[in-house]
A and B are shown apart, each in its own frame.
Chain A
Amino acid sequence: MDFELMQKVYPFFLEAAWVTILLSVLTAILGLTLGALGTFARLSRFVVLRAIGAAYVSVFRGTPALIQLFILYFGGPQIGIQLDAFQAGVIGLGINAGAYMTETIRGAIISIDKGQTEAARTLGLSRWQTMYKVILPQSLRLMVRPLGVNINALIKATALVAAISVVELTYTAQRYIGSTYKPFEMFLLAGVLYMIIIYVAGRGVTWLDRKVQIT
């Protein structure tokens, strides 16, 4: 193993890791926002909103994220959507993550015992008051860990944007392989950096999970 080479290219990989982190953070924010909106649609009392929510989830979970990225980035200009690679990466992955997060958030909400809603409604609380005061605080505790799993998957999925030439970790590794012919070292370096990012994110989720639990 060529440690000397690894040491030499290491700073460039660190730079690329920042791009991966930025991609992940933006994708997670977009995903969570869409997950919340998707849940709102899926739990709405309006059938049209429910259908839109269901279609969103089934389309974006039912096709490969890579194809979604390709359609957005390569197919987009054909229908008037002009995005640079980074924008396309964030938006494409964010929409994809949002579909998974919709199911996570919705799952946490509907798993709260029906008796909780009944008790709140019986006291005279409205649907929204019930959701806000009784259901959400309880389901928040149930959704932190599974959302953590979604975020873990999303960080790894950022590797896909190498295929639309965003200069992040995986793309950087490939580029250096092209000039050094050392795939083992280059991919290993990228893999270690991914692991560190995912480890830190996982610790964050654990911390948050502990924070939202009581007693």
Chain B
Amino acid sequence: MNEQTKFVEIRHAQKSYGDLEVLKDISLTVDRGQIVGIIGSSGSGKSTLLRAINDLDPLTGGEVWLDGVQVNKNLPYRKYEKHINEMRQQVGMVFQHFNLFPHMTARENVTMAPIMLKGLSKAEANKLAEEQLDEVGLLERIDYYPSQLSGGQKQRVAIARALAMKPKLMLFDEATSALDPELVEEVNLVMKKLAEKHMTMIIVTHEMDFASSVCDRVLFMDQGVVVEEGPPEVIFKNPKQKRTREFLRKHLAGAK
């Protein structure tokens, strides 16, 4: 297999906390422009796997590669810091609890990293913030503080903040799980728009409908392993594994 063709590649990912093994030898590849959904109950390891991709939760074994470069290289501290900061600039991440910087306006949230890390001038960064916030439909809220925004608006600003770094890959860690039901749709729409632009995305989600409508591929994880993966029509309509069927039955029943 030619590794150059693989955009994201996880090789034999393993992670333990003491005796507790949360990821058990997971391998996974994602092609450029592909949208992969990860589903599974809490504690299945899906967030840990996602957070291993930008080394927020370092693996205890295995490798993560992005666009031909190993992310979790074994380097001395200073070199590693420099390397990982460069890698992370290429990977956007959106969190369940938004994690906007509360002491900055929406504009400042979006412009901070491009100014600090890419040397954009204030004027360039402002223009960028306007574009990105317009893209998520929040241009009129550009000078609002996070505390003045709804949950859905906060998450859209968080997406704009990540996109302002022009990432190659976007990671979504249950981006809508903390939102009131009526606010979920506005965030989903932004994500769908990104999908239409062929952004490569890995999405950890509890929303089966959303996963089946935007994802090219869905992974079902349980107890630290990928139990089953395939196109959403197969995973949701015709899963082969018993564990997948049980999860979907429980989850869909629970949703009602």
Say yes or no: is B81 at the interface (Cβ < 8 Å to chain A): yes
A215 nearest CB across to chain B (Å)? 5
Q: Could you tell me the distance in whole angstroms from the C-beta of B110 to the nearest C-beta in chain A?
A: 10
The verdict on A195 contacting chain B, using a C-beta distance below 8 Å, is no
Interface assignment of A15: CB less than 8 Å from any CB of chain B: no
CA distance in complex: A34, B117 (Å): 32
Do B117 and A119 have beta carbons less than 8 Å apart? no
Chain A interfacial positions (CB closer than 8 Å to B): 45, 113, 115-116, 118-127, 129, 133-134, 137-138, 141, 214-215
Across chains A and B, the number of contacting residue pairs, with CB separation under 8 Å, is 62
Q: How far is the CA of A84 from the CA of B174 in the complex (A)?
A: 63
Give residues 118-149 of B contacting A (CB, 8 Å). 145, 147-148
Contacts of A120 in B (CB 8 A): 101
* In-complex Cβ contact of A133 among B91, B112, B165 (8 A): B112
In the complex, A116 Cα to B99 Cα: how many Å?
A: 6
Q: How far is the CA of A211 from the CA of B95 in the complex (A)?
A: 31
The segment from B30-38, B82-90, B227-235 found at the interface with A is: B82-90
**CB neighbours of A134 from chain B (8 A):** 101
- Interface pair A129/B101, CB less than 8 Å apart: no
Task: Say yes or no: B165 contacts A119, CB within 8 Å.
Answer: no
The 8 residue pairs across chains A and B that have the minimum distance between CB atoms = A124-B89, A119-B99, A115-B99, A123-B113, A122-B93, A124-B88, A124-B85, A137-B103
Q: How far is the CA of A122 from the CA of B81 in the complex (A)?
A: 12
Most buried by A among B81, B101, B148, B165: B101
Whether B161 is near chain A, meaning CB under 8 Å from some CB there, is yes
Q: Which residues of the other chain, B, contact A127 by a CB distance below 8 angstroms? A: 81
Taken together as a complex, chains A and B put the C-alpha atoms of A110 and B112 apart, in Å, by 22
**B8 interface residue per 8 A CB criterion:** no
Q: Tell me, yes or no, whether B54 is within 8 Å of chain A by CB.
A: yes
In the assembled complex, the CB of A177 is this many whole angstroms from the nearest CB of chain B, namely 52
Contact, CB under 8 Å: B91 / A122 = yes
Complex CA gap A177/B130 in Å reads: 72
B102, CB-defined interface residue at 8 Å = yes
A selection of 20 A-B contacts at a CB cut-off of 8 Å is A118-B56, A119-B100, A120-B101, A121-B56, A121-B88, A122-B54, A122-B91, A122-B162, A123-B161, A123-B165, A124-B88, A124-B165, A125-B85, A126-B85, A129-B116, A137-B103, A138-B103, A141-B103, A214-B103, A215-B145
B97 contacts A by Cβ under 8 Å? yes
Q: Are the C-beta atoms of B113 and A118 separated by less than 8 Å?
A: no
Contacts of B162 in A (CB 8 A): 122-123
Q: Is the CB of B99 within 8 A of A118?
A: yes
Q: Decide: A124 and B113 in contact? CB cutoff 8 A.
A: yes
Partner of A124 from B99, B117, B147 at Cβ < 8 Å: B117
Residues of A within 8 A of B116 (CB): 125, 129, 133
